[in-house]
Structure 1
Amino acid sequence: MATLARRRGKETEQPIVVALAAPMADSDDAPPAPAVHRRPPRPARGAAAAQGFAAALRRRLSSGAAAAARASFAADSGDESGPGEPSSSRRRDNGGDASSAGGGQGGAGDFPAFTFRAAAPVHRKAKESPLSSDAIFKQSHAGLFNLCIVVLVAVNSRLIIENLMKYGLLIRSGFWFNATSLRDWPLLMCCLSLPVLPLGAFAVEKLAFNNLITDASATCFHILLTTSEIVYPVLVILKCDSAVLSGFVLMFIACIVWLKLVSFAHTNHDIRKLITSGKKVDNELTTSDIDNLQAPTLGSLTYFMLAPTLCYQPGYPRTPYVRKGWLVRQVILYLIFTGLQGFIIEQYINPIVVNSQHPLKGGLLNAVETVLKLSLPNVYLWLCMFYCLFHLWLNILAETLRFGDREFYKDWWNAKTIDEYWRKWNMPVHKWMVRHIYFPCMRNGISKEVAAFIAFFVSAVLHELCVAVPCHILKFWAFLGIMLQIPLIILTSYLKNKFNDTMVGNMIFWFFFCIYGQPMCVLLYYHDVMNRTEKTK
């Protein structure tokens, strides 16, 4: 076989791939194995000598051993075999056990290392560096991701040890309840009396469905009830010198009840409109939806006020049963993460804000340093709050009430623009805004930009009420923080369309929400509360 290959090589002087790595042991006529160190051909004279040397070099480079070495080198360097190179299994079949030719010391690809000749080229095609701009996103970065995790764990471990060495364990045994909480009993009584207003809304709808009052009168009564739902807790909090946390909980519950009452009144008004008109106002309503359009009952109102949703409808998708074991696990996780939030506040956030200066009155570098120092525990607190509220607590309510639709959030952490974040972060509020503000505005001839502005305005007012009223100050920091989302939406949408890059918008979102925005609001409200307390004393 080797003799035939040499004869054909002399006739055509074309490279023929033949495996010469090892002779066949069972062949009597096979020539002896070629020597490891071969004497190069004696150079001839003149042009014929140069042509003879080139032909000999081509024949040797086209031998099976050289082809196997090239394939082995290509496999080591990550290249795929070219169309003219046989697979490794075929080379082994043609050449026998390649590793035996090297005395048991095989190189990469099971071929002896000495078969790769020095004359064989190692640079065969143009390649990009793995971190070049054209190839960086084609590489796997799992190792760098693991490095980031290791660095993150190391840095945070150092910060935890440094904090414990500097302050000790600051969390108090009375964090959950202390004697000063007893002065907040008026807020508790106010919270327990809030269900009276939904009962009033139910009575108004009963009168309206029975045609005892007009739609205009029903609308006036609902406006009075929803306004009382907000004004009543505000007056109680401002009248009592309550703790900030107690006031925040009461205002948070009051805003939720206000949103539910608005949805209850608006939905039933639309149901009455559908019933009296006798036709489908919305083409998306199916036959089952029309059959479900009925007057509210006390049971449907009670279920709606307890369910983890802000949008009223007579019936909801339900699960067949309650998973008791799963529910117990969620309750345990909720208690653990609630305690973790208290630990982060007491151990990390409080010492930073107490030892800080007002960000608008101190030096610029000092303010930047404080904001960056506060950003890390603030991110952890915010993520724990999200997990506790939107995942654990809402799922606990849903499982207890067998509430079926549990899309309380989407993948907001992958948001490419601020607009996408607000559409994925809080699905109950987003659905309420779309259903009761955005689409009604557009149906009345308002442009979508103005409708979005109105939705953000309502959200900003509710955020300001939840923060400013418990703090007993009116600085509009929360209101401005929400309204400034509009230019950020424009900016991130422009960057996404301009550079066709999803990473830029996501980085801007994380920076303004977690690194700059929330720590700045915490510092502003804390120092304003401290200034008000000092003036009161």
Structure 2
Amino acid sequence: MAVSKNPETLAPDQEPSNASDLRRRPASSSSAAASPAVPDSSSRTSPSITENWTAALDGDSGAGAVGNDDLKERIGEANDLGEKKKASSGDKVGRGEVPVGFVDRPSAPVHVRVVESPLSSDTIFQQSHAGLVNLCVVILIAVNSRLIIENLMKYGLLIGSGFFFSSRLLRDWPLLICSLTLPVFPLGAYMVEKLAYRKFISEPVVVSLHVILIIATIMYPVFVILRCNSTVLSGLNLMLFASSVCLKLVSYAHANYDLRSSSNSIDKGTSYLNLYKSQGVSFKSLVYFIMAPTLCYQPSYPRTTCIRKGWVICQLVKLVIFTGVMGFIIEQYIDPIIKNSQHPLKGNVLNAMERILKLSIPTLYVWLCLFYCTFHLWLNILAELLHFGDREFYKDWWNAKTIEEYWRMWNMPVHKWMLRHVYLPCIRNGIPKGAAMVISFSISAIFHELCIGIPCHIFKLWAFIGIMFQVPLVILTKYLQNKFKNAMVGNMIFWFFFSIYGQPMCILLYYHDVMNRKVRTE
């Protein structure tokens, strides 16, 4: 591109009316310059200069230089910014003397606007970090692959046939009988409600009979587990099933009591009340409720129209795969770590901290797999087979900023039950919100202790204390969230208390107590 040795100059009074005048002029035949101008105090980029650069870019002869498009775009943005600021300030200062034909030369301007760095504090959250997320995923895969290889080289394959089937399970046949006879208690609750609907028994008698049935539902498996000295896994499964039936019976009794007492006060057009009046106490509704993936009773539920058989098979395959992944992590990582550890409340504090931190990652993986298998796979499979429509079994608890948000989102069936049958009744009876929250956590702590302590044959209340410890954590995390005003900080605090410290500590406590009990009994 040739440059004239005698470039033209554009005085302020000879300024083109618009940028198109300059675009029509070949850069090879003319250059523009002007007398020195006073810089615009309201803008760090001169709009007149950028207009001349744009004109030179558009008027350049030849095939066009590589990189001109990007420079045009930057010049255009700077020009727009400068024009806006110049219009607002009413500045009429003339343009500077700028050679038009130098945009493709080594002296071409490349710095034409004020721009912050992508990682600066003002723009870091406006950038896309998808590439960094991909990098973290690649690093995570690489690090975990190395750990798997290192573990296999150190311990070998520890999973044996006993993981899938053990002769000890045959000694737990009383627990199987107990689980098969538990539906007797819902049948008793149905008979009580049938008598109450026909007004054969008074309301105090109805309440007393339901209380007896609910207590018997949870105490019956406790008695069987303690008498049979069952394995931890068998006892855990039975206690989870019994706790589910117990909560369902509470909801069944409470909901039917509310329907009976409200039959004269609720609007006559209420669908549930009309269904209750027309059908009464339906045995079919009770059977569906006991089998459905919900803890809250109502006479009818939203239903789907068909069963997706292919989808069900796919979910079952995923369930088998992730169950195997959990078994691999438990046998290859968690079991060796806790066997080589000391009781966390005894011995060296640094050793206990090291074991807790080492145990936190595999424990977190197992917990995530357990959550996925239970709340996403199993409950959705059950809902699909039963045409159950409401499948909000969890929310995005992984984004929780406080412990309170986590407990509201991670287990929706229990949360809805607690809200409907514990928290809101407390509020309606004048109990303060703080006290109602403590009552809710207390009930949750009791069931956690029953489901963990009873199968382990340990009665040191570690699970109860761990759940009740959530109450001050709720207050603390809410305070920190309000103080920092940052969702990321609150989410990081939640993950620390939940996965890095809480779960590994509970596992170590129960494991060593179970091992000590075995030593004493043997």
Instruction: State whether residues 417 and 489 of structure 1, in contact with CA within 8 Å, keep that contact through their aligned partners in structure 2.
Output: yes
Once the two structures are TM-superposed, the CA of residue 290 in structure 1 deviates from its matched residue by: 2.4
Residue from 461, 464, 472 that aligns with 1:476: 461
1:153 maps to a residue whose letter is I
Report the equivalent of 1:130. 118
Q: What CA distance in whole angstroms lies between the structure 1 residues aligned with 2:373 and 2:75?
A: 47
Residue from 308, 321, 343 that aligns with 2:306: 321
Q: What CA distance in whole angstroms lies between the structure 2 residues aligned with 1:419 and 1:289?
A: 32
Report the equivalent of 1:246. 234
Report the equivalent of 1:83. 80
Once the two structures are TM-superposed, the CA of residue 158 in structure 1 deviates from its matched residue by: 0.7
Which consecutive residues of structure 2, in runs of 5 or more, have no partner in the other structure?
39-47, 60-64, 84-99
Report the equivalent of 2:339. 354
Once the two structures are TM-superposed, the CA of residue 308 in structure 1 deviates from its matched residue by: 0.5
Q: What CA distance in whole angstroms lies between the structure 2 residues aligned with 1:345 and 1:79?
A: 61
1:417 to 2:417 alignment: no
1:293 maps to a residue whose letter is Y
Residue from 279, 282, 293 that aligns with 2:276: 293
- Report the CA distance shift for 1:59/1:494 in structure 2 as closer, same or farther (over 3 A): closer
2:104 maps to a residue whose letter is T
Instruction: State whether residues 23 and 58 of structure 2, in contact with CA within 8 Å, keep that contact through their aligned partners in structure 1.
Output: no
Residue from 218, 225, 228 that aligns with 2:213: 225
Q: What CA distance in whole angstroms lies between the structure 2 residues aligned with 1:115 and 1:213?
A: 98
Report the equivalent of 1:104. none
- Count residues with an aligned counterpart: 484
Residue from 176, 188, 204 that aligns with 1:200: 188
- Report the CA distance shift for 1:113/1:387 in structure 2 as closer, same or farther (over 3 A): farther
- What SS is found at the alignment partner of 2:161? coil
- What SS is found at the alignment partner of 1:429? helix
Instruction: State whether residues 189 and 213 of structure 2, in contact with CA within 8 Å, keep that contact through their aligned partners in structure 1.
Output: yes
Report the equivalent of 1:454. 439
When structure 1 is superposed on structure 2, of 241-250 and 121-130 the one drifting more is: 121-130
1:260 to 2:251 alignment: no
When structure 1 is superposed on structure 2, of 387-396 and 363-372 the one drifting more is: 363-372
Report the equivalent of 1:12. 13
1:183 maps to a residue whose letter is R
Report the equivalent of 1:524. 509
1:65 to 2:56 alignment: yes
Q: What CA distance in whole angstroms lies between the structure 2 residues aligned with 1:75 and 1:382?
A: 54
Report the equivalent of 2:519. 534
Aligned residues: percent identity?
Answer: 57
Once the two structures are TM-superposed, the CA of residue 488 in structure 1 deviates from its matched residue by: 1.4
Report the equivalent of 1:106. none
Report the equivalent of 2:422. 437
> Residues 131-152 of structure 1, C-alpha deviation per residue, up to 9 Å, x if partnerless?
2211211112122111111111
Report the equivalent of 1:338. 323
When structure 1 is superposed on structure 2, of 383-392 and 14-23 the one drifting more is: 14-23
Q: What CA distance in whole angstroms lies between the structure 2 residues aligned with 1:502 and 1:410?
A: 17
Once the two structures are TM-superposed, the CA of residue 213 in structure 1 deviates from its matched residue by: 0.8
- Report the CA distance shift for 1:487/1:85 in structure 2 as closer, same or farther (over 3 A): closer
Report the equivalent of 1:153. 141
- Report the CA distance shift for 1:159/1:113 in structure 2 as closer, same or farther (over 3 A): farther
Once the two structures are TM-superposed, the CA of residue 7 in structure 1 deviates from its matched residue by: 7.6
- Report the CA distance shift for 1:18/1:197 in structure 2 as closer, same or farther (over 3 A): closer
Residue from 122, 145, 169 that aligns with 2:157: 169
Q: What CA distance in whole angstroms lies between the structure 2 residues aligned with 1:409 and 1:125?
A: 48
When structure 1 is superposed on structure 2, of 340-349 and 217-226 the one drifting more is: 340-349
Report the equivalent of 2:104. 115
Report the equivalent of 2:265. 279
Give runs of aligned pairs for residues 465-504 of structure 1, distance below 5 A. Answer: 465-504=450-489
Q: What CA distance in whole angstroms lies between the structure 1 residues aligned with 2:175 and 2:189?
A: 23
- What SS is found at the alignment partner of 2:80? coil
> Residues 504-527 of structure 1, C-alpha deviation per residue, up to 9 Å, x if partnerless?
111111111111111111111000
Once the two structures are TM-superposed, the CA of residue 481 in structure 1 deviates from its matched residue by: 1.2
Q: What CA distance in whole angstroms lies between the structure 1 residues aligned with 2:9 and 2:102?
A: 28
1:273 maps to a residue whose letter is S
Report the equivalent of 2:224. 236
Report the equivalent of 1:380. 365
1:291 maps to a residue whose letter is N
Q: What CA distance in whole angstroms lies between the structure 2 residues aligned with 1:452 and 1:53?
A: 74
Report the equivalent of 1:182. 170
1:404 maps to a residue whose letter is G
Instruction: State whether residues 218 and 246 of structure 2, in contact with CA within 8 Å, keep that contact through their aligned partners in structure 1.
Output: yes
- Report the CA distance shift for 1:75/1:350 in structure 2 as closer, same or farther (over 3 A): farther
Report the equivalent of 2:202. 214
Q: What CA distance in whole angstroms lies between the structure 2 residues aligned with 1:231 and 1:61?
A: 85
- Report the CA distance shift for 1:133/1:114 in structure 2 as closer, same or farther (over 3 A): closer
Instruction: State whether residues 175 and 224 of structure 2, in contact with CA within 8 Å, keep that contact through their aligned partners in structure 1.
Output: yes
Report the equivalent of 1:191. 179
TM-score in terms of structure 2 length: 0.85
Once the two structures are TM-superposed, the CA of residue 168 in structure 1 deviates from its matched residue by: 0.8
When structure 1 is superposed on structure 2, of 462-471 and 73-82 the one drifting more is: 73-82
Q: What CA distance in whole angstroms lies between the structure 1 residues aligned with 2:416 and 2:101?
A: 68
TM-score in terms of structure 1 length: 0.83
What's the C-alpha RMSD, in Å, of the aligned pairs?
A: 3.3
2:171 maps to a residue whose letter is R
- What SS is found at the alignment partner of 2:163? coil
- What SS is found at the alignment partner of 1:235? helix
Instruction: State whether residues 74 and 112 of structure 2, in contact with CA within 8 Å, keep that contact through their aligned partners in structure 1.
Output: no
Q: What CA distance in whole angstroms lies between the structure 2 residues aligned with 1:368 and 1:235?
A: 37
Q: What CA distance in whole angstroms lies between the structure 1 residues aligned with 2:379 and 2:514?
A: 31
Report the equivalent of 2:41. none
Which consecutive residues of structure 1, in runs of 5 or more, have no partner in the other structure?
25-30, 42-50, 87-110
Once the two structures are TM-superposed, the CA of residue 65 in structure 1 deviates from its matched residue by: 2.3
- Report the CA distance shift for 1:261/1:138 in structure 2 as closer, same or farther (over 3 A): same
Q: What CA distance in whole angstroms lies between the structure 1 residues aligned with 2:444 and 2:72?
A: 60
Q: What CA distance in whole angstroms lies between the structure 2 residues aligned with 1:129 and 1:21?
A: 32
Q: What CA distance in whole angstroms lies between the structure 2 residues aligned with 1:405 and 1:378?
A: 30
Q: What CA distance in whole angstroms lies between the structure 2 residues aligned with 1:299 and 1:18?
A: 81
Q: What CA distance in whole angstroms lies between the structure 2 residues aligned with 1:83 and 1:191?
A: 75
When structure 1 is superposed on structure 2, of 76-85 and 454-463 the one drifting more is: 76-85
Instruction: State whether residues 295 and 414 of structure 2, in contact with CA within 8 Å, keep that contact through their aligned partners in structure 1.
Output: yes
> Residues 253-281 of structure 1, C-alpha deviation per residue, up to 9 Å, x if partnerless?
11101001111111111111122xx111x
Structure 1 moving runs of 4+ over 6 Å: 18-24, 51-55, 58-61, 66-71, 76-79
Q: What CA distance in whole angstroms lies between the structure 2 residues aligned with 1:426 and 1:53?
A: 72
Instruction: State whether residues 235 and 454 of structure 2, in contact with CA within 8 Å, keep that contact through their aligned partners in structure 1.
Output: yes
